[in-house]
Amino acid sequence: TQHTLIRQSSRSNVRLRPIPNHQLTHYVRSSTLYINPHSHSLQCPNRPHSERDSRKEISDSIYISVEFSSNPVREKQRKMVANQPEKEHPVPAFGLAARDPSGVLSPFNFSRRATGEKDVKFKVMYCGICHSDLHMVKNEWGTSTYPLVPGHEIVGEVTEVGSQVEKFKVGDRVGVGCMVGSCRSCDNCSNGVENYCPKMILTYAGTYHDGTITYGGYSNVMVCDEHFVVRVPDALPLDAAAPLLCAGITLYSPLRYYGLDKPGIHVGVVGLGGLGHVGVKFAKAMGAKVTVISTSPAKKQEAIERHGADSFLVSRDQEQMQAAMGTLDGIIDTVSAVHPIMPLIGLLKTHGKLVLVGAPEKPLELPVFPLLMGRKIVGGSCIGGMKETQEMLDFAAKHNITADIEVISADYVNTAMERLEKGDVKYRFVIDVAKTLQQG
Amino acid sequence: MAKKSPDEVHPVKAFGWAASDPSGHLSPFSFSRRATGEEDVRFKVLYCGICHSDLHCIKNEWGFSTYPLLPGHEIAGEVTEVGSKVTKVKPGDKVGVGCLVGACHSCENCTADLENHCPQVIQTYNSIDVDGTMTYGGYSDHMVARERYIVRFPENMPLDAGAPLLCAGITVYSPMKYYGLSEPGMHIAVVGLGGLGHVAVKFAKAFGARVTVVSTSPKKEEEALKRLGADSFLVSTNMDQLKKEQFTLDGIIDTVSAVHPLLPLLGLLKANGKLILVGAPEKPLELPAFSVIMGRKTVAGSNIGGMKETQEMIDFAAKHNITADIEIIKADYLNTAMERLAKGDVRYRFVIDIANSVADIYRETTQRK
């Protein structure tokens, strides 16, 4: 017996190795060992170090040496973020950040990297508020690091390009969505689906190649690798196009991938919020017959008259749902709360597909028999690759598709987050960054 | 009008083994079958495989059993008589019947050779046939079925080891084809090494896939690798092992019919990977949405296959020498076999030697006279 299991700190790796008797200079004897994170020494609570007279009992004990090795990148981040976000990079920047899981956003000064050879630097004009931003500022998915500057529906005007940039020039109207980097060499990256790269780097709360934390678009300036920048077509207004960079691609990609983009197909969209309303527009433009499925009967008129849906089902109305069974080729489910999917599977025809794009944190109940009888599929989808994101914007420009937005000033952002939590927005808040975001 | 007893409903006397209540105890049962219609094929049953579904049904575990219930939908035998319009087979041919004996033949699904998805599908047992009578399955001395539902056994396929393919075989073959998991070089996992699982390994290897078996029992590793030819083996409760194999699989065929966690299985899939459920737990499974969203993965189901595909599967199996690994039993062992099946104590399918079991009974009754 040469190792003892120690309760591990989640931030560091603990390696144990045995020490032969003759090399002992210190000893500890205890059934429970505690690690002092500052001195990295072992402490046993009931026996002070100086009791060397117990040495003769040691032969029955277990001797260990503890070496700490923490993740050097995270260590560096922790130090930098805790102390000096303004000095991390050469270019001063400012924005809005959440400091803790209360999620309250306040002015935050930080810095951006110098424009590298392949980088595009742009002045942020607008940034959409995605529900993911709300989940992240409150650490609801458990992956947030603070301070956290959200925002991944970012549009603006190019102010500088690196020497190797080919696609963009100063003055271009551009956007950045949910990703700012990936490994660029795996199968997924080579096939244009960088969003499925295991090393994909998120626009905010991610870790960039240089080890620094990424800050998102609730800020005055962005610097991003050309590969992850898209052009916003002239036909689209910047403010109403911003939400397409996340909401748009999140719906466009699965409609294409799961074959729900053929004319005449009958598609259901569950949830009529930021994602849902854009989904209805794209599905209609692709020639589908669209049914909106929602818990709120109040949304029916908007769904049909404003967004062009063909019909509306109230998901809690059993009779309505029963009557519509076996009518849909596919369903895009945008709901991010836990909800029953069995009735949705029932709405599908044989070989129908239920695609989840909303992300509840707890598991859903999957009844198996309905999948077997009817050979149905439940799949997922997560944004889209860069090529497809550009394709989506061009498609939106051609078919006049933009999000329905409420433009707000930067100082309204916390109120907007509260309203967003209650679903009180038609249908996306967009921050007027250029005109209202001020230095802290 | 008095209700007819099972042996008076139809003109031709038949004999088999049926359960009379949810205890699931099987005992000798006299009944009757229809005369051979124009499109019918009548055959003497030689073998019938015992499918786990038979066990679920005799005990009414799915809640829709009607008694007396005579199971068996992996039926193989020899043609004795054919109707005037039958062209597919003649007397003496070796044939089989699987899980289906009828459908509407006019809906979208039937026209696409997917009788298994017809809303009016008629199952081999425990179903109401077009004439309003109950269907009785293959634990019996002979069968009558419409030509469309007869599968021809190729010359080189042994009837006893080929019978289980009629359900287990098509159940795993169909989704591998439909979901694009039958391309050479793909990396496929089979979860559960039982009646369905062992056949899935054989088909996947024949398709040219690299096959990993995932099981709760470490003891099955040697069988999986040495006898069935799987390339690797994972113990599903060993989280470390599973974590190392993340993002390696194109597809998974999950044959497990008990409730089990999907999260570790989804983790094994590459982006765009597919988890196909063919086992049928009666309670819902937990689906963590993040696991399908990150990686654009899908969870799908499959349920046997149409008649055209079933014939295709049998021909493919014959060509690649694929049969089930079986334990042959006589009908007097039936109830013991069911008990062992409930515990998973069989490698890997029981098959009833119907012809000799019937002969035994005949001998007994004549001796008694």
A142 to chain B, minimum CA–CA distance in Å?
A: 13
Q: Which residues pair with A204 in a beta bridge?
A: none
Instruction: Check B287 against A372: CB less than 8 A apart.
Output: no
Q: Is B289 in contact with A371 (Cβ distance < 8 A)?
A: no
Structure confidence at residue A360 (pLDDT)? 85
User: Which residues of chain B approach chain A closer than 8 Å at the C-beta?
Assistant: 109, 114, 117, 178, 247, 262-263, 270-272, 277-282, 284-303
Residues forming a β-bridge with A270 = A293, A333
pLDDT of residue B369: 52
Q: Splitting chain B (369 residues) into consecutive groups of 10 residues, what average pLDDT does each group show?
A: 78 95 95 96 97 94 92 97 96 97 94 94 96 95 96 96 97 96 96 95 97 93 93 91 90 93 94 94 90 94 96 97 96 96 92 92 72
Contact residues for A377 (Cβ-Cβ < 8 A; gap 6+): A258, A351, A352, A353, A354, A371, B298, B299, B300, B301
Choose, out of A368, A369, A381, the residue to mutate when testing the contact with B (most B CBs < 10 Å). Answer: A368
Per-residue model confidence as pLDDT tens digits over A73-83? 555 555 554 55
- A371, closest residue in chain B (CA to CA): B301
- Write the CB contacts of B193 (distance below 8 Å, at least 6 apart in sequence): B201, B213, B215, B217, B220, B223, B224, B228, B348
> Residue A118 has which token pair?
């392949």
- Give the residue from A140, A255, A372 with the most B CB atoms within 10 Å of its CB, the best one to mutate: A372
**What's the one-letter identity of residue B21?**
D
pLDDT value of residue A10:
36
The whole-chain average pLDDT of chain A stands at: 85
User: Which three-class secondary structure state does DSSP give residue B354?
Assistant: helix
Closest residue, chain B, to A337 (C-alpha): B289
Distance from CA of B127 to the nearest CA of A (A): 16
Q: Mind listing the pLDDT tens digit for each residue in B110-161? A: 999 999 999 999 999 999 999 999 999 999 999 999 999 999 999 999 999 9
Residue A75, φ and ψ in degrees, nearest 5:
-60, -45
pLDDT above 60 for A174 = yes
Q: How far apart are CA A401 and CA A382, in angstroms?
A: 21
Q: Which residues of B touch A196 (CB under 8 A)?
A: 271-272, 294-296
Cα dist from B120 to B101, B280, B300, B338, whole Å: 11, 21, 23, 30
Are the CB atoms for B68 and B20 separated by under 8 Å?
A: yes
Q: What pairing do the DSSP bridges indicate for beta strands A405-408 and B26-33? A: unpaired
User: Which residue has 């006589």 as its token pair?
Assistant: B330
pLDDT tens digits, residue range A143-162?
A: 899 999 999 999 999 999 99
* Cross-strand bridge partners of residue B122: B102
Q: Residue A298's CB: how many other CB atoms inside 10 A?
A: 9
CB contact under 8 Å between A380 and B303, yes or no, is: no
Residue A22, pLDDT score: 43
Chain B residues with beta carbon closer than 8 angstroms to that of A372: 277-278, 280, 301-303
B304, A372 contact by CB (below 8 A): no
Could you tell me the two tokens for A31?
Answer: 């059934």
Chain-centre distance for alpha carbon A286: 27
For residue A137, report the phi and psi dihedrals to the nearest 5 degrees: -65, -25
Q: In one letter, which amino acid is A148?
A: L
Q: Residue B214's pLDDT is what?
A: 96
Nearest-angstrom CA–CA distance, A245 and B12: 71
What residues form DSSP beta bridges with A181?
A201
Position A72 scores a pLDDT of 55
Q: Closest-CA residue in chain A for B115?
A: A374
Query: What is the C-alpha to C-alpha distance for residues A22 and A59, in angstroms, rounded to an integer?
Result: 11
The rounded distance, in Å, linking the Cα atoms of A162 and A119 is: 5
Query: DSSP characters for A92-103?
Result: EEEEEEE-STT-
Q: Which of A367, A373, A380 sits opposite B292 (nearest CB)?
A: A380
User: What pLDDT, on a 0 to 100 scale, did the predictor assign at position A24?
Assistant: 41
**B100 SS3 class:** strand
Using an 8 Å Cβ cutoff, are B146 and B102 in contact? yes
Q: b/e string for A175-203 if b means 16 or more Cβ within 10 A?
A: bbbbbbbbeeebebbeeebbbbbeebbbb
Q: Which residue of B291, B298, B303 is in closest CB contact with A377?
A: B298
Task: Write out the two tokens for A233.
Answer: 């077509």
| DSSP state letter for B344 | T
Q: How many residues make up chain B in this entry?
A: 369
A with B: how many residue pairs have Cβ under 8 Å apart? Answer: 113
Exposure string for B78-110, b = 16+ CB within 10 A, e = fewer:
bbebbbeebeebeeebbbbbbbbbbbeeebebb
What's the gap in Å between the CA of B291 and the closest CA on chain A? 8
Separation between Cα atoms, residue B241 and residue B287, nearest integer Å: 21
Q: What does each C-alpha distance from A405 to A15, A126, A152, A429 come to in angstroms?
A: 53, 12, 16, 6
What pLDDT digit, counting tens, does each position of A20-77 carry? 444 443 433 333 444 444 444 454 444 434 444 344 333 333 334 444 444 555 555 5
- Alpha carbons within 13 A on the beta-carbon side of B48: 34
Express as a percent the part of chain A with pLDDT over 70. Answer: 81
The predicted structure's pLDDT at residue A29? 37
DSSP string, A47-84: S-TT-GGGGGGGGGS--EEEEEEE-HHHHHHHHHHHH-
Helices A386-398, A274-285: axis angle to 10 degrees equals 70
Cα angle: A130, vertex A135, A141; to 5 degrees: 135
Question: What pLDDT is attached to residue A197?
Answer: 93
How many Å apart are CA B195 and CA B228, to the nearest integer? 13
- Shortest CA distance from B274: residue in chain A: A379
pLDDT at A68: 41
Q: How far apart are the first and last CA of chain B?
A: 35
